[in-house]
């Protein structure tokens, strides 16, 4: 199967203000986030990207814009990779949510957390993992098993996908750190996923490109070498 780079959107105006943006419209990147987005072009310069799939929210679109322009690529919008629907919590300051009884559930037992008038984190994981696997199968079919593609989404969504790939229960996903504009890399196979990187904020990402398959030996090759040793 293919290799997917899980890219969290760059720093947004909501990240800087301590607000739970959720699916609010009009949330773009702040100045630091714009710089992070521009830097992605250089970070990924040695990575052949076959396809890009993204949450449809503005902050993901702005994160990808410089890279898409540089590569002459278009992103496929995938609603199932959108941010968590935080329901009545959307737009609230995080400091005002810390004393809510549900906050402790979100932190300690997230598989049981369902946001008021919103969705549950277990559902978030189910929809996101299904979307990742479906796109990975499609891209593998279109571009071959050595393809590398980018998925741009949100912190909790990516943490949920990584927990699944690591074989970690959703209740442990808060132990995973996914910074703005960080990349994590997963390679899916017919039997299990392999997590190659998590929360990478560095430079060179060429190491995530799968090695080219070796040529099969010719029919007259001697097993074990010419001496049989």
pLDDT, one tens digit per residue, over 115-127 is 999 999 999 999 9
pLDDT category of residue 86 using cuts at 50, 70 and 90 = very high
Q: What is the DSSP letter of 22?
A: T
* pLDDT band for position 204 (cuts 50, 70, 90): confident
**What tokens were used for 1?**
């199967």
Q: Is the pLDDT of residue 143 over 80?
A: yes
- Closest listed residue to residue 225, CA positions, set 159, 97, 217: 217
Q: Is pLDDT of 50 > 60? A: yes
Does residue 91 have a pLDDT over 50?
yes
Question: Judging by DSSP bridges, how do beta strands 148-153 and 193-200 pair with one another?
Answer: unpaired
- In percent, the amount of the chain with pLDDT more than 90 equals 84
Relative to beta strand 148-153, strand 3-8 is parallel
pLDDT in tens, 3-37: 999 999 999 999 888 899 999 999 999 999 999 99
The helix, strand and coil proportions of the chain, stated in percent and rounded to the nearest 5, come to 40, 20, 40
Q: Which residues make beta-bridge pairs with 49?
A: 148
Pick the closest to residue 79 from 187, 157, 184 (CA basis).
Answer: 157
| Predicted model pTM | 0.90
Residue 193's beta-bridge partner residues? 188
Question: Quick one: pLDDT at residue 207?
Answer: 78
Question: Quick check: helix, strand or coil at residue 38?
Answer: helix
**Inter-CA distances, 16 with 32, 86, 223, Å:** 10, 19, 61
Is the pLDDT at 222 greater than 80, yes or no? no
Question: Which of residues 2 and 60 earns the better pLDDT score?
Answer: 60
């Amino acid at each position: 199967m293919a290799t997917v780079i899980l890219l969290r959107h760059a720093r947004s105006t909501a990240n800087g203000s301590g607000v739970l943006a959720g699916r609010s419209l009009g949330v773009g990147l702040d100045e630091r986030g714009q710089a992070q987005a521009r830097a992605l072009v250089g970070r990924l310069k040695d990575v052949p990207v076959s396809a890009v799939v993204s949450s449809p929210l503005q902050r993901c679109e702005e994160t990808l814009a410089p890279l898409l322009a540089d590569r002459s690529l278009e992103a496929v919008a995938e609603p199932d990779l959108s941010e968590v629907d935080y329901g009545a919590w959307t737009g609230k300051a995080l400091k005002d949510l810390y004393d809510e009884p549900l906050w402790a559930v979100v932190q300690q037992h997230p598989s049981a957390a369902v946001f008021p008038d919103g969705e549950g984190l277990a559902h978030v994981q189910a929809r996101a993992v299904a979307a990742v696997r479906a796109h990975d199968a499609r891209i593998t079919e279109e571009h071959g098993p050595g393809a590398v593609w980018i998925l741009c989404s949100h912190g909790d969504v990516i943490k949920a996908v990584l927990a699944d790939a690591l074989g970690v229960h959703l209740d442990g996903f808060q132990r995973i750190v996914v910074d703005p504009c960080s990349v994590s890399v997963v390679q899916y196979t017919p039997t299990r996923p392999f997590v190659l990187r998590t929360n990478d904020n560095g430079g060179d990402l060429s190491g995530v490109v799968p090695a080219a398959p070796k040529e099969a030996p010719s029919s007259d090759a001697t097993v074990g070498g010419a001496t049989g040793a």
